[in-house]
Structure formats: structure tokens, C-alpha cells
Structure 1
Amino acid sequence: MPDVVVEPDADRLARAVAAALVARLAAAQAVHGTASVVLTGGGIGTAVLERVADLVREPARERVDWTAVDVWWGDERFVPADDDQRNELGARRALLDPAGVPAERVHAMPASDAGLTEPEDAAEWYAGQLAAAAPEGASLPRIDLLLLGMGPEGHVASIFPGTPAVSDERTVLAVRDCPKPPPTRVSLGFAALNAAEEVWLLVSGSAKAPAVAQALAGDATPDELPAAGVRGRRATRWLLDAEAAGQLPREA
């Protein structure tokens, strides 16, 4: 069963997740010497990174060596590199540049003007990057923590209900005609999302409360509600604000 944590509001949620993220990466580094994280975009995802940057500037009990953190993305908009819709830009501004994460550890998904003109080529390239960082014989590196947002209809990364991405078994895939703009994207598939040691779903706002309740009830299929198909190898955590948790049973 997933863990469910509810914070009073979106700001408190972002602060709590930021502190937990720092602790999780520090713990991974204590064991492995390095840590790896898959980032998400969206309002709450960016807010978390901004709060982590605040912790970087302040004394903290757990310290992360940001020169030894590998950063990946769960999905990306296939738009030009300087387009503000790119999750990469938001993450660089919020955390990666202030924290001094080395360029070679920032594994961004290709932009549409980076030399790969089709999203399918970009997806294949990114799958190759993941495989190159993986142990021999594996297609994915160790992923200590994977962050995901969720849309009101239950999409995660760029896997939307009732779309071919739900059943695509590749680690990385192109998404065309996305229901939410921009329509062309690159996304990790379930094969990669569910390979992470821990998956944290960050959800805020009352518009997402019905999907949260449906996912946690356990009776939705991934085709109906992609968020219901995500789980970490060791842990799955739903980190919610009070509005997003508004339709959960009281005991949750």
C-alpha cells in the first residue's frame, strides 16, 4: 500500500517535500556515494525545487553533495530549448544552477531544435542515455527517487488516459497529439517510472481530488487513470495538500 501524507496547503506541502527530498538524496549518497533523481515540472514540482534551493543556502542536518547527483526528467515538452514551457528551464532556474549541479550530471531530454527533429528520435536518444548510465546488461540506471505530478484526469509524466502511451513497453516514448498543450512531448514509460526505488506523487488543488481518491481506492486501471499504474520498487508515496486530499476517506 502506498504511503499518504497530507499537508495543510500547497506551500507547506512544497516545504515538507523539499526537506524529505534532501534527506532521501543524502541517504542515497551515504550508501552509494552518488544519488539520482527524476524531476517533474508543474507548479508544485517547481515550488519544491525552489524550497530545496532555500535549504541549499541554509545550514541543514542532512547535506547533499550536488556535484554527485544525477538529474533526469520524467517528461519534457518537445519545443525549442529557450521555450519557457520546458521543464528543464524551470528546474535549472529553481535549483540546478543555484545548487551547482555539474553539466555532465544534468540529463535533459532533447529540445526540438537540438538536432533531432522528430520526438521519436529524441525518445530513442534519451533511452540510449539511460542505458549508457545503467549497469552492464541493464537498460536503466539506479533511480533513487522519482517525482511525479498528476493532472486532474490522472495523467502522470505525459501518459494520458486512453492513449497508446499507457500500453507502450519502451522506457522512453514520443507522445503526439497530447490532450494538454504543447501537443508533442517525450516521456518516460511505465517501464522506467516503475523502475525507481521510490516514487513520490506530488498533488495539490481541489481539481485533482477526485482522481486522487480514485487512484488510492485501488479500483482504477492504468488506462483509465495512469497515476494508478505507478509504483516504486521499495516505496510509493502520495504527498498531498488538504485540497487534493479532500475526497479521501477520513482514515486515509
Structure 2
Amino acid sequence: MSRPAPIVVEAEALVPRAAEWLTEALTRALAGGGRCSIALSGGKTTGPIYRQLAGKDLPWERVDFYFADERCVPPDHPESNYLLAEETLLRPLGIKREQVHRMEGEREDRDAAARDYEALLPPVLDVVVLGMGEDGHTASLFPGGSELQEKERRVLAVVGPKPPPWRLTLTLPVLSGARQALFVVSGAGKRDAVRRVLAGEDLPSARIAQAVWIMDRAAAGQ
């Protein structure tokens, strides 16, 4: 699959452009009149995007919310991806509890939490929101990790290089199989990873071949 050409915008246009893309993606997924699914990610950029997305006029009662990854912390912890989504998107929209499927990262048995989340996932996710770290990781799939070779499991408990180390993450078969995927990347610190992905290096973020990339000029470089 050929990679879509990246969309490069000025820094101040990144958040509204990403929110617009997600609105269009959800509209496409909802066009048949049924339900659709979206998997959310954390990160500094996503909060402002979710706030703008919460202002969009969509049939939100037909959207089911999942997560691309989660730190193994309680849902009210400052590092929780769920808490970020709850504060910026889910609560402002008044989303019903039964529409939200969070990863239970606080559970002592992390493998059981991962397997239980596998049972909650739809066969295919309609929309996935992703970011990328300076090392090229996405979700909690890090360069060189054994989880990158996983073909069967859809959710894994993994150890990341930054605290808190333990995470739950969707695996590559789930992310690369999503109908629509968006990477949002900002800042000069991501420039080298962007260059490496676009040059075809085998970084985790490069494995999501169908994804559209929206980035600011600082991340895009030349």
C-alpha cells in the first residue's frame, strides 16, 4: 500500500485541520446509518484536537470510543489517556458510559486486562487517532520491541522506556487494519523521526501504511 502524501500546515492550523479530518472520517464511517468506532490516543496535541472535535455536529450517540493504548495507572491519574479524553471530549459531549470502552490499566493482572480488552474490540476499527514519539513509536509500540512481531494478539501489556513503564496497547494487526487512521505530529523534535518514516525506515509508526499524516512545518522540516 502506498503511503498518502503528508499534509503540512502552519503550527496554528494543525489542531483545526486535524479536527476537520476526524470529523470527515467519522462522517464517512457513519454514512450507512449504523454505528462507528474510534480509538483515541493521548499526547500533548490530542487534547486541543479533542476539544475542537467536541464542538462538531455529529450523531455522537452512534459513536463507540476505544483507546489505542493506556498507561497502567488508575483512570483518574494525570498520566491516564482516558482522563485526557474524558476531560476534553467525552464529558463535554455528554457521552454515555456504555459508549466508552477504556483500557483497565490499573488492574494487577495486566495480561488479563489486555485479553479482556481484546474481547471488547470490534473486528475492525473505523477510525484511529495516533501520535508519534521522537523515537518513531506509536501507541505503545516501541522500536525493537518483541510486540512488533505479534500477529495474533490484538492487545498486549508491554513495557515502555519512559515512566510509568507498563502500558496496554493495541497491536499492529489492529492499527494497520483500521479503515481510517490519522497521525498528528508537531514540533521540531519529531523532525528526524518524520524523515526516517518517509524515507521508508522500519519504525513502528511506518507500519501503519494506510494512515494520513498531518504535521506542522517544524516537524516536516524540508
TM-score category by the smaller chain?
over 0.9
For 2:76 and 2:87, the matched residues in 1 are separated by 12
Quick check: 1:199–1:231 contact (8 Å CA) kept in 2? no
Match of 1:27 in 2: 28
Match of 1:121 in 2: 112
Match of 2:218 in 1: 243
Q: 1:231 aligns with which of 205, 209, 212?
A: 209
Match of 1:175 in 2: 158
Gaps of 5+ in 2: none
Counterparts of residues 1-252 of structure 1 (less than 5 Å):
1-9=3-11, 11-53=12-54, 55-56=55-56, 63-112=57-106, 116-130=107-121, 134=122, 140=123, 142-169=124-151, 170-176=153-159, 178-218=160-200, 220-221=201-202, 225-232=203-210, 236-247=211-222
Say which SS state the counterpart of residue 42 (structure 1) adopts: coil
Quick check: 1:206–1:243 contact (8 Å CA) kept in 2? yes
Quick check: 2:105–2:168 contact (8 Å CA) kept in 1? no
Which of the pair has more CA radius of gyration?
1
Say which SS state the counterpart of residue 31 (structure 1) adopts: coil
Once the two structures are superposed, residues 42-92 of structure 1 have per-residue CA deviations (whole angstroms, 9 ceiling, x without a partner) of 011122101112x23xxxxxx311111011110000112221110000101
Quick check: 1:127–1:171 contact (8 Å CA) kept in 2? yes
Say which SS state the counterpart of residue 124 (structure 1) adopts: helix
Quick check: 2:6–2:213 contact (8 Å CA) kept in 1? yes
Gaps of 5+ in 1: 57-62, 135-139, 248-252
Say which SS state the counterpart of residue 160 (structure 1) adopts: coil
For 2:49 and 2:195, the matched residues in 1 are separated by 23
Deviation at 1:102, TM superposition (A): 1.5
TM-align CA RMSD: 1.3
**Count of paired positions:** 219
For 2:192 and 2:28, the matched residues in 1 are separated by 34
How many percent of aligned residue pairs carry the same amino acid?
37
For 2:204 and 2:33, the matched residues in 1 are separated by 31
Between 1 and 2, higher relative CO (CA 8 Å, sep ≥ 6) is seen in 2
For normalisation by structure 2, the TM-score amounts to 0.94
Equivalent AA in structure 2 for residue 172 of structure 1 = V
Assess, with a 3 A threshold, how the Cα gap between structure 1 residues 32 and 144 changes in structure 2: closer, same or farther. Answer: farther
Q: Which runs of 4+ in 1 moved over 3 A?
A: none
Say which SS state the counterpart of residue 119 (structure 2) adopts: helix
